[in-house]
Structure 1
Amino acid sequence: MDFGFYRVENLFRTANFVIVLLEVLLVVLWIGFAVNSKRTSVIAFVSAISAIILLASVLGGNPVISLVLLIVLVSLMANTIRVVNEYQRGVLLRFGKFAYVVGPGINVIMPFGIDRLLVVDLRTATIDVPRQEIITKDNIPVMIDAVVYFNVFQPELAVLKVQNYFNATSLLAQTILRAILGKYDLDDILAKRQELNEMLREELDRATDPWGVKVTATEIKSIELPEEMKRAMAKQAEAERERRAKIIRAEGELQAAEKLSEAASIISRNAGALQLRQLQTLTEIAVERNSTIIFPLPLEIMKFFVTNSEIKGSSGNSENIG
């Protein structure tokens, strides 16, 4: 009977030793994470809690108590260890007051509501500004939608100075979009889109700077015009194209007339040049294999034939008289 009692006692001691050993390993790991955070208050808190748990487990000598303390230790570790990604930063509030900004990696905070960690994403975010109806300076209603690119450069300001920096930036972008584009005519909005994009970015960045938000770019995606305005602009563009076509045609006729005048002046100074030009024209016509060729003759040739016929007629009459 005594042998069984000693056996159970040894078993309890062994179980208690294993549990305490496991607690020691977890405490070492926990303190290591606290030291990595480089915060004196956190290191002191973790060390004190760990010492109390280990001391209670060793002095208690009961595996049940040690097991309960182990569960408490694991629960505390789960509530105090926070992992922050590389593209994130944590804003730590201690008793409701801003303490410091937590960097990436494994961090340890105080439990029981003492510390509260708010994680902020530092990557560039995109806001699709909803379509806005804007009245331009020349009283034309247009529908414009845009996109805004921004990122947080001071996480503490994004948490402490504005309730929701994402929604606030989106609403502010809508307001600034209507305010700035309403000062310009429709032609300026269509022609100066790049300048307006830069102006929108500067205004929005100036307004969001106190929130720790940096606006990197704004782009006007599309401008939707009323159907009546589209038809009017189409007519205007068609009239402009016709005007250009008439000007080009008139300039071509003017240049052709100038060149023809120069050619006529050159040909008029040399009688043989006209004949050569006629022969060249015949050569060009012959290439086309036409069946009918109209060949102009100078009037001097006709006069020559008329003169010869008159001479022959007069000579015949004289012979008959003789």
Structure 2
Amino acid sequence: MLGFTIFTVKKHERALLLRDGDFAGLFGPGKHRVFTGLDDVTLERFSLGKPDAPARFEHELADYFVAHEPALLAREFVQVVLGETEVGLRHEDGVLVEILPPSTRQLFWRGLREQRVDVVDLSADARLPAELLAKLHSVALRPRAVRGLDGVLLVQVPEFHAGVLTLDGQMQALLPAGVHGFWRFNRQVSVSTVDLRAQIAEVNGQEILTRDKVGLRLNLSAVWHFTDVQRALARMPKPADHVYRELQFGLRAAVGEQNLDALLENKAAIDGAVLAQVRERLAESGVALDSVGVKDIILPGEMKTILAQVVEAEKSAQANVIRRREETAATRSLLNTAKVMEGNPVALRMKELETLERVAERIDKISVVGGLDQVLNGLVTLRQPG
């Protein structure tokens, strides 16, 4: 049936009219009257006003508009055509909202928001421009981030660290502390961080035989640091693991060359031996060893018992020597006293009085018969209580 169709396009909409499935017109806001005739007329609406509405025009007619509708294209769309080494920065009302990858062919609606696309050449530098880096770093902290951020690498290198930049498998210059950004498009880029401060290596539970075949378990601690990060990473895939292994080898060599007694008497000798050997092995490797210290030397249970018996025997022998020395000194003193009293009656008398005084202190009652002379001549009767 012949006739007309009337439809209204809202201010935030665009309407695509299809007649028998083919393009018949693109209509902006307002009321429109279209002759339908006997054709099958359909209307496709596109909303431009929602904050989360896609601004891109994705339709099978996009290529047709580009090739055959230049006036419509200029009026309704912003066309983006990027080369293989170009990236597009799409802005809406001056705000960056999307990063477009290389070789993009896309139409974006003109409408309620102003669309602008800035083109950046990737071949010039892998680093993000300073202005873009600052913008992306601040945008990434907001709840609504820029779309297409997977095309860039944002890295924050902490203080006292260095960033190791690798481009297409080749290590580049070290990155200082701060925020850095790189394009991921058309290249493989990665950044790892390295701590430049002194680091601790713990070598625990090492079972080692001494020169006299005694099994020990030792715990060692060492401090090391990077002197040349690039050289270290070029020679060692994991510098910390390499330092750990060298400490293991140095500890085994130092312990295996000495007897148990020497090790127990001078643990510092192990420290010096390990430090000297490992420093020599790490020379020109990009890392340096600062200090080494053996924390524990753990003996097996039966060896602890034997050593305890040895120590007990040594201490007992020392006690016997001291006791004999004191007895000899006391005997010598008595002999000297006897020689003095032998030729001196007065000294003998005084010694007798001293002896009597000591005896008197220990008894409760003394009975004297015949005077003091009889006491001194052995006629003293001592009567104790009871």
Task: Specify if TM > 0.5.
Answer: yes
In 1, the alpha carbon distance for the partners of 2:168 and 2:176 equals 20
Distance 1:245 1:18, change over 3 A: closer
In 1, the alpha carbon distance for the partners of 2:198 and 2:265 equals 29
- 1:256-267 to 2 correspondence within 5 Å? 256-267=330-341
Q: Which residue, out of 150, 158, 167, partners 1:85?
A: 158
How far has the Cα of 1:236 moved from its partner? 1.7
Q: Could you list the runs of 5+ residues in structure 1 that have no partner in the other structure?
A: 27-39, 51-69, 303-322
In 2, the alpha carbon distance for the partners of 1:226 and 1:18 equals 73
Structure 1 segments of 4+ aligned residues over 4 angstroms from their partners: 1-7, 40-43, 47-50, 290-294
Q: Any conservation in 2 of the 1:129–1:174 contact (CA below 8 Å)?
A: yes
In 1, the alpha carbon distance for the partners of 2:211 and 2:266 equals 15
Distance 1:163 1:261, change over 3 A: same
The C-alpha deviation readout for 1:106-148, integer Å capped at 9, x for no partner, is 1233423353222112233333324222221122222223233
Aligned partner of 1:108: which letter?
Answer: G
Q: Which residue, out of 193, 198, 201, partners 2:272?
A: 198
Distance 1:211 1:292, change over 3 A: farther
The C-alpha deviation readout for 1:145-185, integer Å capped at 9, x for no partner, is 32333233322133221111222222222222112210000
Q: Which residue, out of 126, 129, 134, partners 1:46?
A: 129
Q: Any conservation in 2 of the 1:198–1:217 contact (CA below 8 Å)?
A: no
1:121 aligns with 2:204: no
Instruction: Give RMSD over aligned pairs.
Output: 3.9
- Which residue of 1 is the match for residue 147 of structure 2? 71
Q: Any conservation in 1 of the 2:251–2:270 contact (CA below 8 Å)?
A: no
In 2, the alpha carbon distance for the partners of 1:19 and 1:212 equals 50
- Which residue of 2 is the match for residue 104 of structure 1? 177
Structure number having the greater helix percentage: 1
In 2, the alpha carbon distance for the partners of 1:186 and 1:244 equals 23
- Which residue of 1 is the match for residue 252 of structure 2? 178
SS at match of 2:191: strand
- In the superposition, the TM-score normalised over structure 2's length comes to 0.57
Distance 1:183 1:301, change over 3 A: closer
SS at match of 1:211: coil
In 1, the alpha carbon distance for the partners of 2:365 and 2:200 equals 76
SS at match of 1:109: strand
Aligned partner of 1:95: which letter?
Answer: D
In 2, the alpha carbon distance for the partners of 1:48 and 1:292 equals 115
Give the fraction of aligned pairs with identical amino acids, expressed as a percent.
22
Structure number having the greater strand percentage: 2
Aligned partner of 2:178: which letter?
Answer: G
Q: How many residue pairs end up in the alignment?
A: 261
- Which residue of 1 is the match for residue 357 of structure 2? 283
- 1:101-180 to 2 correspondence within 5 Å? 101-112=174-185, 113-180=187-254
Q: Any conservation in 2 of the 1:147–1:218 contact (CA below 8 Å)?
A: yes
- Which residue of 1 is the match for residue 45 of structure 2? none
How far has the Cα of 1:99 moved from its partner? 1.9
How far has the Cα of 1:6 moved from its partner? 7.6
